[in-house]
Chains A and B, each alone.
Chain A
Amino acid sequence: MIMTVQFFGYIGRKAFRVKDTFADLFKEISGVYYLTRHTLYCSFIEPLKGKPIKWGSMWIQMEEVGVKSALIVFLTLFLIGVILAIQTAYQMSQFGALEYVGALVGVAITRELGPLMAALVMAGRVGAAFTAELGTMKVSDEILALETMALDPVKFLIVPRFLALIIMLPCLTILGNLMGIFGGFLVGITTLGIDPIIYIDRSIEALQVKDVFSGLFKSGMFALIIVMIGSYLAFVIEGGAEKVGQNTRSAVVTSMILIIISDMVFTAFFFFLE
């Protein structure tokens, strides 16, 4: 009898805990939604009403997130191109289709790996920096100070970062794609011994403009994810340095997971669109 009561008590407590977890989850989701809506409003609609964007801080952020991340994105994608070419060469040569390595590398990078790898690298580099910086500002009352000066912290802090990343991430992705294709090309014409003209021909045959555009669309969405998750988790920080560390970690983890999930969704979407 007591066992049964304890058992049901256990189930009841578990059920309540699950309910709380879901309630918290929905609270977070709605928080991110409202922040995103406000950010989009401030970046695209308010300028039309005569309240200009902070160009100065946007340029600074563009340099910070774009120019300074270029090297690491290029290196990553160059190496991905090299690896992809070497890995596929063996399988392709078994079918006697070694020259199609170029096509495979080109399509895989522009459609999928370029946007994805660039976004993952940026989530680690830029997302963490956003959360740590804005979180420290929150902890030291700087965000409260902005609000009490009748200045909108979203407009001041998030909008420049959002616009900078949504412009720079697609740019980096395009240049990164070229680096990846170049990496594959180098391996193809040297180690694999494919004729350069044939390699380029096969690549161009296989690539379509819409591959590039679907990749760019994705990287725009990834930019939105990185900025919104990073800034939301910074704005909800209460307390001190410990929480800044925790939220920086969760910002990187959450945005990486969301990037991969949304990548899957968009890939499926574009696949069925054709």
Chain B
Amino acid sequence: MITIRNLKKTFGEGDKKMIVLDNFNADFEEGKVTCILGGSGSGKSTVLKHMIGVYQPDSGEIEVDGENIVGMNREQMNKVRKKYGIMFQSGALFNSMTVEENVALPLREHTGLNESTIKIMVKMKLEMVGLRGAEHLKPSQISGGMLKRISLARAISLDPKIVFYDEPSAGLDPISIGVIDQLIKDLSNKMGITSIVVTHELASAFRIADKIIMLFKGEIISSGTPDEIKNSKDPRVVQFINGLPDGPIPFSKSQRDYGEELKEMTFYN
């Protein structure tokens, strides 16, 4: 469904140039749930933003349904985006609109359906996420977990082929995580939706994923089924899934030696 080939992305210029992704390759299969795992700063969100066309890569190809989306203009990209549903980390619901208007927005804009059909469809989508009855609330009046579920309802309102989830379970209680995991799995199994989940929640990744891709510093260090990842011998994977403080993945993000930096500190008084 989505194929990424030789993706390269750098940020900044000159001395501050930072290579985030270098020679990145990945495949996301149709109708399967693929989880992208990795610590903070490993390039997970950057990969996601390339796939939804927010970032343009320095080089490389991203094929969606056989079409290369790199270098597409706005109109071509919009055609591809109609196949997408995206659930943002913060929800990104429109605060000026009610829940119903939020979920109905893609339907009103992209389909010629009449108002009563749209109302029925909104109700169906809200029922899927278990929030029927919240239609007339504003996003500021509902809790974080409900926000994410409504964001999911909006993401699937156009019955997309591909759904992206950016940290679907960050900051939620265990029951809400379980509900959202179940939803992601059901959508893929019953409706054949391709799901791409960016997360660092291990338990939920192991529960829902058909395939896990593990990133470290913009490189894939391991990929395979949840069982393959669990049994991996790679020390970086072992450290990540066990949450060990010591190992090949450093905790400190600073480049320079701690002692050197302390010695160089000067004080004027």
Rounded to whole angstroms, the CA-CA distance of A145 and B93 in the bound complex is 8
A3 within 8 A of B: no
- Taking a contact as CB atoms under 8 Å apart, the answer to whether B92 and A140 are in contact is yes
- Taking a contact as CB atoms under 8 Å apart, the answer to whether A141 and B88 are in contact is yes
Rounded to whole angstroms, the CA-CA distance of A147 and B94 in the bound complex is 13
- Taking a contact as CB atoms under 8 Å apart, the answer to whether B78 and A150 are in contact is yes
Rounded to whole angstroms, the CA-CA distance of A148 and B165 in the bound complex is 13
Chain A residues, Cβ within 8 Å of B124: none
B52 within 8 A of A: yes
Known: A150-B78, A150-B82. A145 touches B109 (CB 8 A): no
Rounded to whole angstroms, the CA-CA distance of A140 and B92 in the bound complex is 6
Among B59-86, those with CB < 8 Å from A are 77-79, 81-82, 84, 86
B-contact bits for A144-175, CB 8 A (1 contact / 0 none): 11011111000000000000000000000000
Chain B residues, Cβ within 8 Å of A145: 86, 88, 92-94
Q: In the complex, which of the residues A137, A147, A149 contacts B105, with contact meaning CB atoms closer than 8 Å?
A: A149
Chain A residues, Cβ within 8 Å of B94: 137, 142, 145
Chain B residues, Cβ within 8 Å of A144: 54, 88, 92
B-contact bits for A104-148, CB 8 A (1 contact / 0 none): 000000000000000000000000000000000100111011011
Chain B residues, Cβ within 8 Å of A142: 92-95
Known: A140-B90, A141-B88. A148 touches B110 (CB 8 A): no
Q: In the complex, which of the residues A137, A140, A141, A149 contacts B81, with contact meaning CB atoms closer than 8 Å?
A: A149
Chain A residues, Cβ within 8 Å of B84: 148
B192 within 8 A of A: no
| Nearest-Cβ distance from residue A149 to partner chain B, whole angstroms | 5
B31 within 8 A of A: no
Rounded to whole angstroms, the CA-CA distance of A142 and B147 in the bound complex is 13
Chain A residues, Cβ within 8 Å of B109: 149, 151
B106 within 8 A of A: yes
- Taking a contact as CB atoms under 8 Å apart, the answer to whether B90 and A141 are in contact is yes
Known: A141-B90, A142-B92, A142-B95. A147 touches B54 (CB 8 A): yes
| Nearest-Cβ distance from residue A151 to partner chain B, whole angstroms | 6
Rounded to whole angstroms, the CA-CA distance of A145 and B157 in the bound complex is 14
Rounded to whole angstroms, the CA-CA distance of A148 and B86 in the bound complex is 7
- Closest A residue to B166 using CB positions: A141
Rounded to whole angstroms, the CA-CA distance of A147 and B80 in the bound complex is 12
| Nearest-Cβ distance from residue A140 to partner chain B, whole angstroms | 6
Chain B residues, Cβ within 8 Å of A151: 105-106, 109
| Nearest-Cβ distance from residue B163 to partner chain A, whole angstroms | 12
Rounded to whole angstroms, the CA-CA distance of A144 and B92 in the bound complex is 8
| Nearest-Cβ distance from residue B75 to partner chain A, whole angstroms | 9
Chain B residues, Cβ within 8 Å of A150: 77-79, 81-82, 110
| Nearest-Cβ distance from residue A68 to partner chain B, whole angstroms | 16
| Nearest-Cβ distance from residue B6 to partner chain A, whole angstroms | 24
- Taking a contact as CB atoms under 8 Å apart, the answer to whether A148 and B52 are in contact is yes
| Nearest-Cβ distance from residue B51 to partner chain A, whole angstroms | 10
Chain A residues, Cβ within 8 Å of B81: 148-150
- Taking a contact as CB atoms under 8 Å apart, the answer to whether B92 and A149 are in contact is no
Chain B residues, Cβ within 8 Å of A148: 52-54, 81, 84, 86
Chain A residues, Cβ within 8 Å of B79: 150
| Nearest-Cβ distance from residue B94 to partner chain A, whole angstroms | 6
Rounded to whole angstroms, the CA-CA distance of A137 and B81 in the bound complex is 20
Chain A residues, Cβ within 8 Å of B90: 140-141
| Nearest-Cβ distance from residue A28 to partner chain B, whole angstroms | 18
| Nearest-Cβ distance from residue A12 to partner chain B, whole angstroms | 17
| Nearest-Cβ distance from residue B45 to partner chain A, whole angstroms | 12
| Nearest-Cβ distance from residue B41 to partner chain A, whole angstroms | 17
Rounded to whole angstroms, the CA-CA distance of A147 and B105 in the bound complex is 13
Rounded to whole angstroms, the CA-CA distance of A142 and B97 in the bound complex is 12
Rounded to whole angstroms, the CA-CA distance of A151 and B75 in the bound complex is 10
Binding site for A on B (CB under 8 A): 52-54, 77-79, 81-82, 84, 86, 88-90, 92-95, 105-106, 109-110
Instruction: Write 23 A-B pairs (CB below 8 A) sorted by A numbering.
Output: A140-B90, A141-B89, A141-B90, A142-B94, A144-B54, A144-B92, A145-B86, A145-B88, A145-B92, A145-B94, A148-B52, A148-B53, A148-B54, A148-B81, A148-B86, A149-B81, A149-B105, A149-B106, A149-B109, A150-B79, A150-B82, A150-B110, A151-B106
Other A-B pairs beyond A137-B95, A151-B105, 5, CB < 8 Å: A144-B54, A148-B52, A150-B79, A150-B82, A151-B106
Question: Which 6 pairs between the two chains have the least Cβ-Cβ distance?
Answer: A150-B78, A141-B92, A145-B92, A150-B81, A148-B86, A141-B88
